[in-house]
């Protein structure tokens, strides 16, 4: 399983692409989240991006799904014919349809390829485009869900945004790679978000081999990296702050 970090930025970090990860396994590719500027990164950085099989939307904040009008429009321009699978929390079809219609009112009517929606409730387990997909609720906005992706014996856990809970610990158990939102360093955590230290402790409890921390608040990411690195020495898991474009194989 190969993971390409197309973006690692939080919602309003002007210097970064919003968090978005392309996961490839067994010849299939699923994109995890597609925020404001992530569609552009995807089409720029990924060979044959118009051929990606599926998309997971973790929740309905703009920095996680407002890149969809651009992405679907780019697929259309490239003459895509292959069906595209869009997975997400309850309401996924309505949210995506409204968003794309606002941007390009005629696009969905002429798009030329199938768009199939897969709606997940917390606890659902489904098989989409070669990936086993299971989810749990996470404490963020409304219907936000974390995801466990399985393919060819490899396991990836991705939070989207949110404060970690016991269901997340169960869902993430023994994942080889955890991609966790961590907004602050430690101390008081912004409501509905995680921190670096909370994420490291979570990784140890869930026995995650390698943790990639994303969605860091701009000041934490740019000014407090030395403190962050000191904290890492406390951890049994390997903890990484990936850069945009970084690739991990598990």
| Piece in contact with Zn ion (CB under 5 A), picked from 55-63, 126-134, 193-201, 236-244 | 55-63
| Piece in contact with Zn ion (CB under 5 A), picked from 14-22, 72-80, 102-110, 155-163 | 155-163
Q: Site size for Zn ion, by CB under 5 A?
A: 2
Binding pattern for the stretch 2-41 against Zn ion, x by CB under 5 A and - elsewhere: ----------------------------------------
Task: Of 79, 81, 52, give the one whose Cα is nearest residue 67.
Answer: 52
Q: Tell me if 161 contacts Zn ion by CB under 5 A.
A: yes
- Residue 40 phi, psi (nearest 5): -65, -45
In angstroms, rounded to a whole number, what is the distance separating the alpha carbons of residues 42 and 23?
A: 12
What's the min distance (Å) between Cβ of 195 and Zn ion? Answer: 15
H-helix or E-strand containing 162? none
| Piece in contact with Zn ion (CB under 5 A), picked from 54-62, 79-87, 103-111, 118-126 | 54-62
DSSP letter string, 41-77 = HHHHHSTTGGG--EEE--SS-HHHHTTHHHHHHHHHH
Q: Given candidates 29, 50, 61, 215, which one binds Zn ion under the rule CB under 5 A? A: 61
Which residue reads 């390997």 in tokens? Answer: 238
Contact 52, 22 (CB under 8 A): yes
Which residues are marked as active site? Answer: 63
What's the min distance (Å) between Cβ of 54 and Zn ion? Answer: 21
Within 10 angstroms of residue 19's Cβ, the number of other Cβ atoms is 30
What's the min distance (Å) between Cβ of 87 and Zn ion? Answer: 17
**Positions in the binding site for Zn ion (CB under 5 A):** 61, 161
């Amino acid at each position: 399983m190969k993971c390409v970090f197309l973006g690692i930025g939080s919602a309003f970090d002007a210097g970064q692409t919003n968090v978005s990860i392309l996961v490839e396994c067994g010849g299939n590719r699923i994109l995890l989240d597609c925020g404001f500027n992530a569609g552009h990164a995807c089409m720029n950085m990924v060979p044959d991006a118009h051929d990606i099989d599926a998309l997971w939307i973790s929740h309905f904040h703009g920095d996680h799904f407002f890149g969809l009008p651009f992405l679907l429009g780019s697929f259309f321009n490239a003459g895509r014919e292959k069906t595209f699978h869009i997975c997400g929390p309850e309401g996924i079809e309505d949210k995506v349809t409204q968003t794309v219609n606002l941007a390009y009112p005629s696009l969905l009517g002429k798009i030329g390829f199938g768009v199939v929606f897969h709606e997940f409730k917390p606890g659902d387990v489904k098989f989409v485009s070669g990936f086993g997909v299971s989810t749990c609720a996470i404490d963020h906005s409304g219907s936000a869900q974390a995801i466990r992706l399985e393919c060819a014996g490899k396991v990836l856990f991705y939070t989207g945004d949110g404060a970690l809970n016991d269901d997340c610990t169960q869902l993430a158990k023994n994942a080889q790679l955890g991609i966790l939102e961590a907004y602050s360093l430690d101390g008081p955590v912004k409501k509905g978000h995680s921190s670096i230290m909370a994420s490291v402790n979570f990784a140890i409890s869930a026995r995650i081999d390698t943790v990639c921390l994303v969605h860091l608040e701009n000041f934490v990411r740019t000014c407090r990296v030395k403190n962050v690195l000191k904290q890492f020495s406390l951890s049994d898991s390997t903890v990484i702050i990936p850069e945009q474009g970084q690739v991990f194989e598990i």
